[in-house]
């Protein structure tokens, strides 16, 4: 299996730079005329995959909205992962796990080992128990050609309290995580991969970060739409790193449903806006 970085690079070239989130909020289920139960969840999530799976580079189911329906919800999540892969999208499971290293191995077995029905193409993790606590996930993902996205500068307004803090080494906490990710991608880039398999999460809402975002891997940028971020904001946040950015939106796209063509059109609009931004940035450079 080619590395996640290689596969994502090819998917972004073929389908554009966009990640559609699958976040079955109770309010969205209601808006789609569905009940807030496991059957409604299944209908919602499978409709989203049918509408978007053949169009977007990356689909990002948010695990929490499946877990809130208990074991039946997790079974739906397993089905979503399988169906999204079959439709040709890469799947990023948004679970933001972070724990001591020995427990991280169990999370790695769950999310990064193809023997598990919850194995996606990539998974989100939180490094705030220390970057090296993520080692089991990083190593297991690498063995199986999977990817990992590490939280760096999140899109929520509470993030800076932790992420902008200065460490004893003089870097910010976020800058420290970015440096770890840069180091984690160095060997893959030296071996000729166009993109490393370890990405970071940097919100589209953060404004200019003052950090070096050239980490060699993909930059997931949630916060477009419902959280107030725009495609135009990406130029300010990412600057020269724009070609590595995968903007993400969930409610902004899902709110257009449940009609398949309306969901697809909402995603395609963002993909085209991002393509236009990249074109304008390339001629200014």
Ligand X SMILES: O=c1ccn([C@@H]2O[C@H](COP(=O)(O)O)[C@@H](O)[C@H]2O)c(=O)[nH]1
Catalytic site positions: 96
Cα dist from 22 to 35, 109, 275, whole Å: 17, 23, 22
Q: Which stretch binds ligand X (CB under 6 A): 8-16, 32-40, 76-84, 224-232?
A: 224-232
Q: x/- binding map, residues 90-129, to ligand X, per CB under 6 A?
A: ----x-----------------------------------
Total site size for ligand X, rule CB under 6 A: 18
Burial class (CB in 10 A: 0-12, 13-18, 19+), 190: exposed
Q: How many residues does the chain have?
A: 285
Query: Is 250 a residue that touches ligand X (CB under 6 A)?
Result: yes
CB of 282 to ligand X, least distance (A): 26
Asked if residue 226 binds ligand X (CB under 6 A), the reply is yes
The first and second tokens of residue 255, run together, are 């709110």
Site for ligand X in 66-95 (CB under 6 A): 94
Which residue's entry shows tokens 């409604």?
Answer: 40
CB of 119 to ligand X, least distance (A): 19
d(CA 91, CA 74): 15
Nearer to ligand X, 8 or 246 (CB): 246
Is the CB of 141 or the CB of 254 nearer to ligand X? Answer: 254
Q: Smallest distance, Å, CB 3 to ligand X? A: 23
222 sits near ligand X (criterion: CB under 6 A): yes
What is the token pair recorded at 142? Answer: 């690498």
C-alpha 38/C-alpha 73 separation (Å) is 6
Considering only the stretches 34-42, 140-148, 177-185, 222-230, report the one whose residues sit in contact with ligand X under the rule CB under 6 A. 222-230
Which of 65, 137, 151 has its CA nearest to residue 101? 137
Task: Report the C-alpha gap between 220 and 204 in whole angstroms.
Answer: 9
225 binds ligand X (CB under 6 A): yes
- Binding residues among 187-216 for ligand X as defined by CB under 6 A: 201, 203
Considering only residues 145 through 164, tell me which ones interact with ligand X, judged by CB under 6 A: 154-155
Q: Locate all alpha helices (DSSP H) within the chain, ordered by sequence.
A: 4-15, 26-31, 38-52, 63-67, 70-86, 101-112, 135-143, 160-163, 173-190, 233-238, 251-254, 260-284
Q: Is 62 one of the binding residues for ligand X (CB under 6 A)? A: yes
Contact positions toward ligand X, by CB under 6 A? 21, 23, 62, 94, 154-155, 201, 203, 222-223, 225-227, 248-252
């Amino acid at each position: 299996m080619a590395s996640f970085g290689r596969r994502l690079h090819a998917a972004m070239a073929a389908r554009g730079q966009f990640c559609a989130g699958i976040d079955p909020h109770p309010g969205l289920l209601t808006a789609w005329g569905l009940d807030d139960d496991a059957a409604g969840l299944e209908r919602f999530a499978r409709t989203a995959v049918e509408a978007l799976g053949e169009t977007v580079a990356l689909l990002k189911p948010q695990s929490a909205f499946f877990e809130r329906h208990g074991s039946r919800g997790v079974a739906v999540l397993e089905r979503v992962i399988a169906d999204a892969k079959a439709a040709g999208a890469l799947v990023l499971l948004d679970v933001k796990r972070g724990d001591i290293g020995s427990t991280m191995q169990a999370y790695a077995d769950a999310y990064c080992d193809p023997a598990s029905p919850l194995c996606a193409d990539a998974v989100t993790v939180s490094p705030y128990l220390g970057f090296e606590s993520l080692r089991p996930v990083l190593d297991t993902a690498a063995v199986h050609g999977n990817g990992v996205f590490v939280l760096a500068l999140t899109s929520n307004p509470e993030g800076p309290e932790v992420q902008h803090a200065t460490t004893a080494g003089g870097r910010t906490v976020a800058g420290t995580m970015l440096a770890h990710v840069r180091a984690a991608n160095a060997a893959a880039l030296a071996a000729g991969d166009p993109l490393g398999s370890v990405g970071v999460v940097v919100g589209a809402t953060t404004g200019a970060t003052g950090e070096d975002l050239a980490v060699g891997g993909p930059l997931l940028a949630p916060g477009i739409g419902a959280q107030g971020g725009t495609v135009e904001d990406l130029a300010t946040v990412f600057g020269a790193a724009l070609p590595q950015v995968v903007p993400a939106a969930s409610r902004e796209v899902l709110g257009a449903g449940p009609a398949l063509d309306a969901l697809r059109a909402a995603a395609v609009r963002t993909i085209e806006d991002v393509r236009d931004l990249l074109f304008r940035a390339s001629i200014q450079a």
